[in-house]
């Protein structure tokens, strides 16, 4: 205690002597009387402080054998800080007035004496006014905590040089070499060791810890560690990291909320950089692509490459679809480490979710191989669906359907009408008839895959050389296309489709064209079957009763193409009220079936246009029944996802490794009503290619009353996952699929070269020190002092209560008065 006080006194004496020497030099240099006066003032103040310190030292030393271990200055007067400010101001004012009042005095020595007496007197009076004392205390302190945070994320397992240590090994060495410092702190602080990646937790032994964390959430680590301590318990933190944050600190502590957060910690954070220069890596940093794309529309995506540690080089970058190369480009990468962008363009040909991959080869000396590729999912949807309408001859039915399709903004319609045939009787020569040749090869071979739906409307294929292309139409449907054939005298059995590839995929069995009674010309009102009451194609209204009333309000139809009956797995949605097929069942008017991946529909009449024109003319209905049926029918034929019997989806397209994955399925019956208690088999496959993926999970689910089932998959390992669901609906099997991604190690390895900026900013904003690449923790780091938990006893040593101070004040005032009298001043 005494030595501490004497040290303070010595410092004050040295400062006072330096001030006196400087002012003395100023007097000699400039011969300024004013400077001499200020010298007297400073000397007086310094002398007073020196005397006070010596008095304090003497008093403290006298009390040191009482067991006191701490002292502090206190003011016993009731005036507090206001009194201190007012008293100090009054003292300075009195001294300045004395200096100004004696500026005419020619005798410098006498002037100095007058000012010195005034200064000494007012200082003594200030001491009497403030009543200063020294409080001697015997206190007990509890050591507070120093938290040391070690980054154990995956990037800390990297070696900045192939023959060098990992960053985590370097962090261990820093702790080992700092043992003497930590031991020195143990009397004042408790040392707590933490490890952090996606979260922070206490670490008992860093030697047994591996760097496998999937994220480096520095902000969360600071927040969690700080929350473990009450106010006053935490002296400060020391963080050892490579600075590769994956949270809001990833781009630096630049945002106001992050700065406010660091300041709210109310503790210093000292940082040490665990990385070094020299790492080599090529990474696909990011993919700039929309989640949605339109089928048969050019899609542009950009891959962002980051090259670290290499000079100028040219590398191949490959875009793959479902594991198969789609595009490849050679790119000159930027050796400065700046990002390089690579653009790819492609045209999706199918609707659905698809997995794409951008990849670069892995070099032998690369530090990280996992970041050389990046997967992404694009959902391909229809902007407009293309419809090919081929009509054998003009008719009201053709006009009605063409008008409906043309007014639909989602339809890109291509129509061909056969206006005349070779059998038509004309009054002009053939070379005078200006008709466009029917483009059979172009439509049914070259452009066929570009269509989503083909409409054959009262069309006889034989006169136009279409027979060789009927197999193409069959294959097109089996591959996922839609086909609808409408009735008429040139269609179905009358059109000679029996026994052809197209006839094989129709939902009805056709009769030979030589059969009798292929057509009926009577009026009728179609009757909905049980399946038709809930099927989307024939649902003109929601709800069974409303739909039946809507059908009953439609005009009569006229004429029907007769068939042998339904094919197996086909569904009749509407039938004739009286006529029967050759198999004895009601003659189908509207029938549908699934063929491979595609769908087929037959409307066995060419009078459905009555619902549009006749209904509007006679006021029987609003004329919207025609449009309503065809709008829904076209959506069903092109497999609109909303109309699938079995629907399957994950709740997201992309997950982080720690995210919980949930799969949901919905199953409906042939009437599109929810199936309760049905069984769904769900398989989860992992792999970028459908052919090479492996089953990682298989579960059997049961639907609830809403036809829904859910499976919690939990957190999955990084990779591409495919959900495959199967169920039995009536006599046929239905399936659905979905795709999602689990990111590879979050964003942890997107960057490999350590970054110091975040560590520098954390230290600066929190009031700590950025220690750079220090090999050990310095012993002189600033921490908060341990808090006082108990004051056993205390006593005040008063510096003002003796009579000597009052006598000194009065004596100095008397001396000043006497000097003024002798000098002629009043």
Dump pLDDT digits (tens) for 769-823.
999 999 999 999 999 888 755 566 677 666 666 677 777 778 877 887 877 777 7
| High-pLDDT (> 70) share of the chain, % | 84
pLDDT band at 57 (very low <50, low <70, confident <90, very high): low
**Region 656-685: what's the mean pLDDT?**
87
Nearest to 519, CA basis, from 418, 394, 605 = 605
Burial of 435 (0-12, 13-18, 19+ CB in 10 A): exposed
User: If you average pLDDT over residues 564-593, what whole number do you get?
Assistant: 91
Report the pLDDT averaged over residues 4-27. 47
486 Cα distance to chain centroid: 51
Pairwise pLDDT comparison (59 vs 221), residue with the higher score: 221
Q: Which residues pair with 344 in a beta bridge?
A: 301
Q: How far is CA 415 from the centre of its chain?
A: 47
What are the start-end ranges of the H helices in 359-418? 396-407
Calpha distance 686→692 (Å, rounded): 9
Quote the distance between the C-alpha of residue 761 and its chain's center. Answer: 23
Instruction: Give the CA dihedral 454, 456, 460, 461, nearest 10 degrees.
Output: 0
Residue 1 confidence (pLDDT): 42
Q: Does residue 603 register a pLDDT over 50?
A: yes
What the block records as the tokens of 447 is: 């452009």
Output DSSP code: residue 611: G
Residue 245: half-sphere exposure toward Cβ, Cα within 13 Å: 23
CA neighbours closer than 13 Å in the CB half-sphere of residue 715:
9
Q: What is the 3-state secondary structure (H, E, C) of 736-777?
A: EEEEEEECCCCCCCCCCCCCCHHHHHHHHHHCCCECCCCCCC
Can you tell me the distance from the alpha carbon of 84 to that of 247, in angstroms, rounded to the nearest whole number? 50
At 431 the pLDDT is 46
- Label residue 422 by pLDDT band (50, 70, 90): low
Q: Which residue, among 282, 242, 217, has the nearest Cα to 159 in the 3D structure?
A: 242
Over residues 389-393, mean pLDDT? 89
Q: In this structure, are residues 157 and 197 in contact, taking their beta carbons and an 8 Å threshold? A: no
Question: Are 317 and 342 within 8 A, CB to CB?
Answer: yes
The tokens describing 523, both together, are: 């009026």
Token output for 432 = 């005078």
Average pLDDT over residues 608-624: 72
Query: How far apart, in whole angstroms, are the C-alpha atoms of residue 672 and residue 539?
Result: 10
CA distances for 547 relative to 620, 640, 673, angstroms: 16, 21, 14
The pLDDT score that the predictor gives to residue 513 is 83
Q: Measured between alpha carbons, how far is 720 from 743 in angstroms, rounded to an integer?
A: 9
Dist. CA 313–CA 735, nearest whole Å: 48
- Does position 702 have pLDDT exceeding 70, yes or no? yes
Nearest to 462 by CA among 498, 507, 431: 498
Confidence of residue 320 (pLDDT cuts 50, 70, 90): very high
| 505 has a pLDDT exceeding 90 | yes
331-336: average pLDDT: 80
Between the two ends of the chain, the Cα-to-Cα distance in Å is 48
Across all residues in the chain, what is the average pLDDT? 82
pLDDT of 37 above 60: no
DSSP letter assigned to residue 323: T
Assign residue 678 a region (left: φ > 0; alpha: ψ between -120 and 50; beta: otherwise): beta
C-beta of residue 391 within 8 angstroms of C-beta of residue 419: no
pLDDT of res. 543: 61
Partners of 682 in beta bridges: 699, 725
How many angstroms separate the CA atoms of 678 and 701, rounded? 8
| Lookup: tokens for 776 | 């050990």
pLDDT of residue 38: 53
pLDDT at 429: 47
- Asked if pLDDT for residue 613 goes beyond 90, the answer is no
Q: What is the pLDDT of residue 617?
A: 61
Instruction: Mention every residue, 6+ apart, whose C-beta is less than 8 A from residue 31.
Output: none
At 755 the pLDDT is 87
Q: Could you tell me which residue, 623 or 285, shows the higher pLDDT? A: 285
To 5 degrees, how large is the angle CA 446–CA 452–CA 458?
Answer: 85
Mean pLDDT of 614-619: 63
Residue 5: predicted pLDDT: 46
pLDDT band with cut points at 50, 70 and 90 for residue 323: confident
Residue/partner pairs of 54-60 with CB below 8 Å, 24 or more apart: 54/9, 55/799, 56/5, 56/9, 56/134, 56/797, 56/799, 57/2, 57/5, 57/6, 57/9, 59/134, 59/797, 59/799, 60/1, 60/2, 60/5, 60/134, 60/136, 60/797
Domains of the chain: 2-141+790-823 (no CATH), 144-278+753-784 (3.40.50.410), 281-381 (2.60.40.10), 386-419+435-537+558-606 (3.40.50.880), 643-742 (2.60.40.1930)
Token pair belonging to 403: 């008008």
Mean of the pLDDT values across residues 539-551?
A: 77
Strand, coil or helix: what is 46? Answer: helix
Q: Alpha-carbon distance 156 to 748, whole Å?
A: 10
Nearest 5 degrees, angle CA 400-CA 406-CA 409?
135
Report the pLDDT value the prediction gives residue 788, as an integer from 0 to 100: 58
Two structure tokens written together for 331: 């790119």
Taking residues 413-419, report their average pLDDT: 81
Residue with tokens 């002012």, as numbered in its chain: 23
pLDDT in tens, 125-165: 888 777 787 777 776 667 889 999 999 998 898 888 888 89
According to DSSP, residue 96 is labeled: H
Q: Residue for token digits 């065809």?
A: 630
Residue 752's nearest CA partner among 375, 373, 366 is: 366
Question: Which pLDDT band holds residue 25 (cuts at 50, 70, 90)?
Answer: very low
Task: Write down the pLDDT at residue 20.
Answer: 47
């Amino acid at each position: 205690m005494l030595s501490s006080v004497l040290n303070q006194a010595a410092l004050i004496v040295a400062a006072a002597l330096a001030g006196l020497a400087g002012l003395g030099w100023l007097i000699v240099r400039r011969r300024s009387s004013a400077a001499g006066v200020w010298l007297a003032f400073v000397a007086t103040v310094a002398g007073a402080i020196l005397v006070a310190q010596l008095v304090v030292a003497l008093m403290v030393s006298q009390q040191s054998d009482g067991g006191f271990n701490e002292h502090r200055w206190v003011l016993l007067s009731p005036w507090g800080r206001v009194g201190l400010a007012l008293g100090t101001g009054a003292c300075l004012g009195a001294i300045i007035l004395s200096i100004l009042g004696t500026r005419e005095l020619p005798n410098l020595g006498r002037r100095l004496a007058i000012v010195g007496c005034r200064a000494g007197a007012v200082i003594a009076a200030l001491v009497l006014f403030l009543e200063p004392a020294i409080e001697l205390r015997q206190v007990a302190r509890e050591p507070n905590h120093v938290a040391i945070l070690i980054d154990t994320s995956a990037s800390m397992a990297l070696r900045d040089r192939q023959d060098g240590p990992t960053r985590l090994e370097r962090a261990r060495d820093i702790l080992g070499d700092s043992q003497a410092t930590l031991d020195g702190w143990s009397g004042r602080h408790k040392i707590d060791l933490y490890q952090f990646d996606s979260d922070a937790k206490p670490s008992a032994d860093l030697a047994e810890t591996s760097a496998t964390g999937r994220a480096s959430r520095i902000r969360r680590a600071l927040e969690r560690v700080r929350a473990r301590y009450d106010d006053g318990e935490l002296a400060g933190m020391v963080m050892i990291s490579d600075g590769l944050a994956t949270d809001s600190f990833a781009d630096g502590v630049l945002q106001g909320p992050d700065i406010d957060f660091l300041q709210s910690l109310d503790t210093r954070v000292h940082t040490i950089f665990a990385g070094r220069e020299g790492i080599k890596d090529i990474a696909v940093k990011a993919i700039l692509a929309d989640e949605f794309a339109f089928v048969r529309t050019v899609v542009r995506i950009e891959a962002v490459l980051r090259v670290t540690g290499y000079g100028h080089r040219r590398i191949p970058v490959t875009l793959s679809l479902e594991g198969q190369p789609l595009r490849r480009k050679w790119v000159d990468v930027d050796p400065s480490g700046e990002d390089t962008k690579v653009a790819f363009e492609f045209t999706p040909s199918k609707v659905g979710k698809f997995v794409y991959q951008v990849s670069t080869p892995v070099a032998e000396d690369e530090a990280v191989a996992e970041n050389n590729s990046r997967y992404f999912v694009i959902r391909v949807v229809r902007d407009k669906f293309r419809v090919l309408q081929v009509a054998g001859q003009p008719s009201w039915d053709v006009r009605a359907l063409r008008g409906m399709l043309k007014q639909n903004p989602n339809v890109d319609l291509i129509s061909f009408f056969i206006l005349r045939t070779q059998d038509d009787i004309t009054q002009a020569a053939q070379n005078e008839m200006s008709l466009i040749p029917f483009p059979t090869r172009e439509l049914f071979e070259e452009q066929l895959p570009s269509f989503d739906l083909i409409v054959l409307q009262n069309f006889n294929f034989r006169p136009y050389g279409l027979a060789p292309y009927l197999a193409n139409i069959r294959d097109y449907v089996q591959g996922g296309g839609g086909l609808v054939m409408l009735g008429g005298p040139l269609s179905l059995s009358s059109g000679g489709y029996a026994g052809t590839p197209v006839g094989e995929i129709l939902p009805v069995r056709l009769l030979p064209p030589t059969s009798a009674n292929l057509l009926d010309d009577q009026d009728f009102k179609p009757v909905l079957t049980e399946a038709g009451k809930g099927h989307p194609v024939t649902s003109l209204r929601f709800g069974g009763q409303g739909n039946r009333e809507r059908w009953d309000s439609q005009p009569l139809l006229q004429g029907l193409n007769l068939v042998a009956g339904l094919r197996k797995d086909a569904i009749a949605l509407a039938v004739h009220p009286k006529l029967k097929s050759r198999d004895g069942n009601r003659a189908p008017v509207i029938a549908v079936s699934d063929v491979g991946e595609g769908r087929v529909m037959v409307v066995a009449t060419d009078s459905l246009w009555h619902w549009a024109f006749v209904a509007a003319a006679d006021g029987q209905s609003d004329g919207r029944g025609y449009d309503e049926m065809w709008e829904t029918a076209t959506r069903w034929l092109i497999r609109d996802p909303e109309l699938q019997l079995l629907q399957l989806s994950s709740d997201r397209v992309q997950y982080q490794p720690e995210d919980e994955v949930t799969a949901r399925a919905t199953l409906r019956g042939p009437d599109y009503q929810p199936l309760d208690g049905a069984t769904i088999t769900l398989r989860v496959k992992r792999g970028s290619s459908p052919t090479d993926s492996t089953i990682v999970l298989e579960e059997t689910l049961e639907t609830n009353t809403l036809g829904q089932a859910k499976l919690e998959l939990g957190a999955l390992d990084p990779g591409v996952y495919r959900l495959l669901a199967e169920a039995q609906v009536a006599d046929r099997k239905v399936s659905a699929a979905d795709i999602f991604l689990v990111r590879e190690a979050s964003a942890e390895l997107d960057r490999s070269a350590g970054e110091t900026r975040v560590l520098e900013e954390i230290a600066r904003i929190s009031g700590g020190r950025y220690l750079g690449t220090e090999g050990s923790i310095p012993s002189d780091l600033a921490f908060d002092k341990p808090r006082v938990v108990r004051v056993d006893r205390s006593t005040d040593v008063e510096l003002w209560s003796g009579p000597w101070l009052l006598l000194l004040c009065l004596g100095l005032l008397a001396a000043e008065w006497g000097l003024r009298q002798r000098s002629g001043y009043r």
